[in-house]
Chains A and B, each alone.
Chain A
Amino acid sequence: MRRGLDRTKPLTDKFATPQAHISLLRENPCKWRSSFLKLGILLFLGILWTLGCSRDTEGIFYSLEQEEKAIDNSLPNDVRITGNMIKVTLGSEDRYYICAGSLFYRTTDLADNKPWTQIKSPISYGIVSGVAEVGGRIYVSLSNGEAHGLFRLTPDGNQYEPNENLYSAKQILRLFTLNNTLFASVGTILDDTFELLFWNGTALIPTGVHTYKIVAGAWDGANYWFASPSDLFRFSTAPSQNGWVPTPYYSYLSYTQNSTSPDPAFNGKSYFTDLFADSSDPTVSSPPYPVYLCSSDGYILKTKDGGLSWKTSGDHNRSFQSISKVKEIIVLGAGGSVVRELPKAVSEDDLDTSEAPGGNFTRLPDLYGSNAIRVFGFGDILYVGTTANGLWRGDYSTDPKSPVWSQE
């Protein structure tokens, strides 16, 4: 039915009798004005209150203005990087392997446009916690909570060797290759039976280090270094079955009880998260090479003499999770959406000067807004692993001050 004006209605319609309305609504006009006045005052106060009120670290519109579309490779973007990343040569092909829930690999030459390939896990819903290469073979640790193990890829590196779990006694937390030896940190916090094992060519056997949850390892050319959250170990002999006495080089507990530490730089330090040995430091011609140690309470420590002396940074107020090197720059990844470069750490042992990466880093919110739990340096290329936004690649080859960032 059409709802146009009907000449038979206007005289009875309320809109057609303005005088009636006037009389009705003018009965209490002050009420209207008062309400509008109150509303206006409330809005005005609200506007005043909101100016300058923000808990963000960057402007909302500024963030949008700076944003650019990320160049994206084929690795899933919404994954957590669950372990480490390695670069290996298999035959004539250089490859990257990355723990991103599953194990993925691709060639190192981006120009070939080959995609990331996922390797099907031998354990259903298995999460990869570590990958390491020893003697031209690739070892992978997996767990799904109930089942776990150490597996090896076939010589071509394309799939797991079938039906071969090399170690299933405990869950493997981390894998390291140090001085051509495979190490595995095993155990869970539930039974508190942490242990450091090494691969003797046929099996994982105990090094003698136990009850400490080893989270990182490094080889400085003369010493093996291992870090647990509150302890640092140094061993100068090759691993053998139970050959290492688990006496920490530095122990936070010993420091608090006896005020003893190997260097004043360590006093009170704990929450260690990662180690990095810089075998390409141009200022050091022979081992021991510099070793960097970072902590989640914001400190970086460095030794250039195999642990005779240490230098420490001040408190960066960042939760450092990982440390590596790209070009001649020490790089740290941290929780709380932070990647930091130490541009003077190599050349001047300056561990305090830090800066955010350059280039298009600040134009990629899924990168700079992510928790960067892992950083992996491979010469001119830095990879940043995040908790929820996958893996990012920074190419420092052209200009270290302005790397080109893209998403894998």
Chain B
Amino acid sequence: MEARISLKALTILLSFLVLSVFGFSPSLHGQEETTPYVPTYVLGNQILIINAGLFVPLFFQSLGGEIDNTNLSLGGVGSIQWSAYLNNEMTLGIEGGGMFSFSPNGRTLFMLPITARYAYILRAFPFEFPLSISAGINFTRLSSMFQILPIVKPGISVYWNYSLEWAFGVNFFYWWTPNLYSGPEPPKNHSRFGNFLEISLSALYHF
């Protein structure tokens, strides 16, 4: 009998522990309120985001449409982004960051994009799903070669709001960066569209 009571108590205790661990989402489980509090953002609210993660080279595409391997290794990526809310669903800001990846013989490709970023935010509180698109310039270096390329980065993110100020999430950004030439050197047939995928973890701060 005592053992059965102890088991019941242990079960209740564990349940509390589990709830306390997973049940601390902001405003969802207010002890005095049953209605969750969902923050609303307006023009002028700002966010600062730091991203870091993996850079996945996908493929190069020629002007004729042929697809070929990038021959690049899995790389690293990081960025910092500032945005301001236009209204509760939309943000506009700028982003700067960089990536690195290695060629088969150890050459390092660096790309440092600076982009303007627009995002439309879908919500299922405490989660947010910003659909974003960035466009800007991309400082690209490989060995002694250097060029400033245009870049477009559409993507989707998933954020979990930890508090009013902080949210954490994961990003999937597609990097599309044309590397175009008109000749004679480099010749036009060296033109390629670079296609890459950024998978990064993100920390977001509202202020």
What residues make up the interface of A, taking CB atoms closer than 8 Å to B? 2-5, 7, 10, 13, 15-16, 18, 21-22, 24-26, 29, 32, 36, 39-40, 43, 46-47, 49-65, 67-70, 364-366, 369
Partner of A365, one of B43, B114, B143, B181: B143
Q: How far, in Å, is B55 (CB) from chain A's closest CB?
A: 14
Known: A5-B164, A43-B137. A21 touches B37 (CB 8 A): no
- CB-based nearest A residue for B38: A5
Q: B136's contact among A16, A46, A53, by CB below 8 Å, is which?
A: A46
Does B44 lie within 8 Å of A5, measured CB to CB? no
Closest to B39 in A: A15
The residue on B at minimum CB distance from A55 is B146
Interface residues of B in 165-181 (CB under 8 A from A): 165-166, 179-181
Total B residues in contact with A, Cβ cutoff 8 Å = 62
**In the complex, which of the residues B30, B105, B190 contacts A5, with contact meaning CB atoms closer than 8 Å?**
B30
Q: Which of A2, A29, A57, A67 contacts B43 (CB 8 A)?
A: A29
Task: Name B's A-contacting residues (CB within 8 A).
Answer: 24-27, 30, 32-33, 37, 39-45, 60, 68-72, 84, 92, 94, 103-105, 107, 109, 114-116, 135-137, 140, 142-150, 162-166, 179-182, 185-186, 190-194, 206
* Cβ-closest chain A residue relative to B206: A15
A43 with B135, Cβ < 8 A, contacts A56-B147, A64-B142 known: yes
Q: B60's contact among A5, A53, A64, A364, by CB below 8 Å, is which?
A: A64
B22 to chain A, nearest CB (A): 12
- Nearest CB of A to B105, in Å: 6
With A15-B206, A60-B140 known as contacts, the answer to whether A40 contacts B104 (CB < 8 A) is no
Assuming the contacts A40-B116, A64-B142, asked whether A52 and B181 have C-beta atoms less than 8 A apart, the reply is: yes
Chain A's nearest CB lies how many Å from the CB of B197?
16
* A58/B190 contact (C-beta < 8 A), A10-B37, A53-B148, A63-B142 known: yes
With A3-B165, A5-B26, A15-B41 known as contacts, the answer to whether A54 contacts B186 (CB < 8 A) is yes
